[in-house]
Amino acid sequence: MNTLANSDLPRRRGRSRRPLQINQAAPSTLISRNIHVGRRRTSMRLEATMWDAFYEISEREGMSVDQLCTLIDRRRSESSLTAAVRVFVMSYFRNASRHQHGSATSASELVEQLMTA
């Protein structure tokens, strides 16, 4: 691969000779937060909306985010904790929606199922 040295670039008036930056990655939309899973500290990266939903669930259920993460971690099989949390959040609100329409168990029972598994 050929690269151009700064001296090979045409001189631009009033600008430095720094190399052109090509294909810069866009900044991530994920937010990283530290959590505790059992006695282990780790970090998890989720979208802001997903963090908001996860915190809302923890408030509704009277549990900390760390407690929910511990329950989800015990229940998951092969997926990463982050993926398992995303599935849990979606399942929680999906169940809440079904309960609102009278066709499912209460949303709180989803957390109960995790606690007894």
Q: Which residue matches tokens 């609100």?
A: 93
Q: What is the mean pLDDT of residues 51-60?
A: 94
Residue 98's pLDDT is 76
Q: What is the mean pLDDT of residues 93-112?
A: 70
CATH number at residue 55: 1.10.3990.20
What is the count of structural domains for the chain? 1
Q: In this structure, is residue 14 part of a structural domain?
A: no
Which tokens go with 38? 């059992």
How buried is residue 43: exposed, middle or buried, by Cβ count under 10 Å (0-12/13-18/19+)? Answer: exposed
Domain carrying residue 90: 28-116
Q: In this structure, is residue 43 part of a structural domain?
A: yes
Task: Give the pLDDT confidence of 57-78 residue by residue, as tens digits.
Answer: 999 989 999 999 999 998 888 7
On the question of pLDDT at 84 being above 70, the answer is: yes
Task: Give the pLDDT confidence of 24-48 residue by residue, as tens digits.
Answer: 666 779 999 999 999 999 999 999 9
The band of 94, judged by pLDDT with boundaries at 50, 70 and 90, is: confident
Q: In this structure, is residue 85 part of a structural domain?
A: yes
